[in-house]
Chains A and B, each alone.
Chain A
Amino acid sequence: MIQFENVTKTYPLGVAALDSVSFAIEQNEFTFLVGTSGAGKTTILNLILGDLYPNSGTVIVDDVDISSKKCNKIENLRKHIGVVFQDFKILHDKDVFENIALGLYIQELTPKKIKEQVREVLSLVGLEGRDRYFPIQLSAGELQRVAIARALCGDRHIILADEPTGNLDPKTTWDIMKIFKKVETRKTIIIATHNTDIVNSMKKRVLVLKKGKLTKDMQKGGYEL
């Protein structure tokens, strides 16, 4: 479960990113974060990831209060969070297998288990047989599939995706969303997006942000600003 209680975040030069935002996301819930650029979507994802401290308020992830500066469980917590970026963040000197297994190596699984899990997730994202391909040999859509596979691998039950389809054509965008749909019952998924079609079609929970404030929280909502 993810819980924000009156969270305010102001960046060093006085830019207000979030203003007293409160919401709770249950386990295995699928949520879209929408809003114009600078509305605070990425800030929310970074706060969940423990990459930022709030100026005030509380951020609780998996029963851990990560808003406290005394919190030393960030590394452990991050082992349960998968992140998908707009620019994929795929390592170009590693092949598909190595990129996906990155998070599994951290969890110090045995080589056999790593192989099994990578094979399983490759099949889930539709990249069977491409495990020894290097990123340069893949299309943008395939690279994003690799990134999603990396985020899904291991015991990562929270998936944060920041504009995961921002660089993709409409068909590939839908292919990517289908992957998220396949795992929605097993993972808590939060996607920050500008994509109106996806949000309107999928009818999931939508949190609307405007200038750092949470203006709407809709179950089975659509894209609104």
Chain B
Amino acid sequence: MNQLLTSLRRAPYQSLAVFLSLFLTLFLSLLLIFCLNFLYGLLGYVESRPQVTIYFQNEASEASILKVKNDLEKSGKVESVKYMSKNDAFSLYKQLNKDNPLLLEMVTPDILPASLEIFAKKPAYLPEIANFLNTVTGKDEVNFQKNIVDKLLSLTSIVRVMSLAFFIFLMGTTIIILITITHFKVALKKEEIELLRLMGATVGYVRKPFMDQALFLGFISSTIVYGIFGGILFFFYPSIQGYLSGITSLFIDIGPYSLTVWPISIEYAGGLYVLLTGFGMGIAALATIFATHKYLAIQRS
């Protein structure tokens, strides 16, 4: 550790340059990952709401409504369809307004229409389902959250593509910067490296101090980025919570597991830290391997 700190102190500007490059990359990467997960969580939330609701006219028979339900289920594009009869709707209404007898007195089961609440397998199927429902006989109204879902879908897709492109660009730039800085450090130590190789030092031995520095700076920068990002998030927490009024939590699915991304769960926070630290140390180590590779081989001629 002492040797590591001494070598960092002996080349302070190079160490600072490595730290700042890593800091910028890790901060932006964390921001991207957080925003993407947040958007996916939001999309998941919207998808979990009834996406299309069809209300039927009073004349529509239960048999015809159930036939529509059956047709939808057979289409293969629907995750589930929930039938709500006039009586079910009235029961729900009563439950929701149980504290308001005036409202209960004014309403009878005849006023409330029967409806089907449809959840599509993919948001992309929603327009098709809505079009089909518009042709149904006895339809009174079709409620379709098309705009919200469409906007969210396109936003998520744009953010994902842009994030990926930006992320690749960011990572490439950082690795090149780190390679250049490490090259410079290696060049300054060229005489020592040659001497060590002549004295029998292995590639691993010569590379170790550079690698230690890279891993240390990767760890430190990712930890600082994580701390600062956490602070910023804490500062904006009430605003985000206000923006999400009514939405209690957001999830993303990772394989069979569901991860709570808002409010930030311990698992999510821990996962982000491990991911960020691993990424920071990984790119720093990768750049060091590239930068030192050329100088370390024994070039026998």
Interfacial residues, chain A to chain B (CB-CB below 8 A):
11-12, 49-53, 69, 74-83, 89, 91, 93, 102-103, 106
Establish whether residues B200 and A102, one from each chain, have CB atoms under 8 Å apart when the complex forms. no
Interface residues of B in 46-81 (CB under 8 A from A): none
Q: List chain B residues, Cβ under 8 A from A50.
A: 298, 300
Complex Cα distance, B205 from A79, in Å, reads 13
Cross-chain contact A77 with B200 (CB below 8 angstroms)? yes
Q: How far is the CB of B197 from chain A (nearest CB, A)?
A: 8
Q: Are B200 and A51 in contact (CB under 8 A)?
A: no
Shortest CB distance B49–A (Å): 64
Whether A91 and B198, one on each chain, are in contact in the complex, defined by CB atoms closer than 8 angstroms, is no
Q: List residues of chain A with CB within 8 A of the CB of B191.
A: 89, 91
**A101 to chain B: closest CB distance in Å?**
11
Q: Are A52 and B300 in contact (CB under 8 A)?
A: yes
A99 to chain B, nearest CB (A): 9
**B173 interface contact, C-beta 8 A:** no
4 additional contacts (CB under 8 A) given A76-B200, A102-B196: A53-B301, A75-B202, A77-B200, A83-B199
Q: Which residues of B contact A52 (CB under 8 A)?
A: 300-301
The reply to whether the CB of B201 lies closer than 8 angstroms to some CB of chain A is yes
Question: What is the CB-to-nearest-CB distance from B248 to chain A, in angstroms, rounded to a whole number?
Answer: 58
Q: List which B190-225 residues lie within 8 A (CB) of chain A.
A: 191-192, 195-202, 205
15 contacts between A and B (CB under 8 A): A50-B298, A51-B198, A51-B300, A53-B301, A74-B300, A75-B200, A75-B201, A77-B200, A78-B199, A79-B199, A91-B191, A91-B192, A102-B196, A103-B199, A106-B199
In the complex, which residues of chain B have a beta carbon less than 8 angstroms from the beta carbon of A80?
200
Is the pair B300, A106 in contact by a Cβ cutoff of 8 Å? no
Question: Least Cβ distance of B193 to chain A in Å?
Answer: 11
A-B contact count (CB 8 A): 48
Which chain B positions have C-beta within 8 A of A53?
Answer: 300-301
Expressed in whole angstroms, the Cα–Cα distance for A50 and B201 within the complex equals 13
Q: Could you tell me the distance between the alpha carbons of A11 and B301 in the complex, rounded to whole angstroms?
A: 8
Pair A83/B201 contact, Cβ less than 8 Å:
no
Which B residues touch A77, using CB under 8 A? 200
6 tightest A-B CB contacts, nearest first: A78-B200, A79-B200, A106-B201, A103-B199, A75-B200, A75-B202
Interface residue from A49, A76, A93 paired with B198 (Cβ < 8 Å):
A49
Residues of chain A with a CB closer than 8 A to B298's CB: 50-51, 74-75
Measured in the bound complex, the distance between the Cα atoms of B201 and A78 in whole Å is 8
Which residue in chain B gives the minimum CB-CB distance to A151?
Answer: B199
Give bound CA distance, A52 to B300, whole Å.
Answer: 5
B301 touches A102 (CB 8 A): no
Q: Which residue of B lies closest to A49 (CB)?
A: B198
A12-B195 contact given A75-B201, A76-B200, A93-B10, CB 8 Å threshold: no
Q: A152: shortest Cβ distance to chain B, in Å?
A: 12
Best-surrounded residue of A53, A93, A106 (most CB of chain B within 10 A):
A106
**Residue in chain A with minimal CB distance to B201:** A106
Docked CA distance A40–B198 (Å): 19
What residues of A have a CB within 8 angstroms of the CB of B195 in the complex?
89, 91, 102
**Most interface-central of A12, A75, A77 (chain B CB within 10 A):** A75
Least CB separation from A83: chain B residue: B198
Counting chain B CB atoms within 10 Å of each CB, which of A51, A82, A83 scores highest? A51
In the assembled complex, the Cα of A51 lies from the Cα of B300 at a distance in Å of: 5
Given contacts A51-B300, A91-B191, whether A106 and B198 have CB atoms under 8 Å apart is no
B190 shortest CB reach to chain A, Å: 11
Closest-by-CB residue of A relative to B205 is A106
Which A residues are CB-close (under 8 A) to B300?
A: 50-53, 69, 74
Residue in chain A with minimal CB distance to B199: A103
B276-301 interface with A by 8 A CB criterion: 298, 300-301
The smallest beta-carbon distance between B89 and chain A, in angstroms, is: 80
Q: How close is A110's CB to chain B, nearest CB, in angstroms?
A: 15
Nearest CB in chain B: distance from A18 CB, A? 14
How far apart sit A168 and B195, CA to CA, in the bound complex (Å)?
22
The answer for the CA separation of A12 and B299 in the assembled complex, in Å, is: 14
What is the CA–CA distance of A91 and B200 in the complex, to the nearest angstrom? 17
User: A89: which B residues are within 8 A, CB to CB?
Assistant: 191, 195
Residue of B with least CB distance to A103: B199
A106 touches B10 (CB 8 A): no
What chain A residues lie within 8 Å of B205 (beta carbons)? 106
Measured between C-beta atoms, what is the minimum distance from B186 to chain A in Å?
A: 14
Q: Which residues from B are CB-within-8-Å of A75? A: 200-202, 298
Neighbouring A residues of B192 by C-beta, 8 Å? 91
Kindly list chain B residues whose C-beta atoms are within 8 Å of the C-beta of A51: 198, 298, 300
- List the B side residues contacting A49 at CB < 8 Å: 198
Whole-angstrom CA separation of A28 from B300 in the bound complex? 27
Shortest C-beta distance, B229 to chain A (Å), equals 38
Set of chain A residues within 8 Å of B200, measured between Cβ atoms: 75-81, 103, 106
What separation, in Å, do the CA atoms of A102 and B194 have in the docked complex?
A: 12
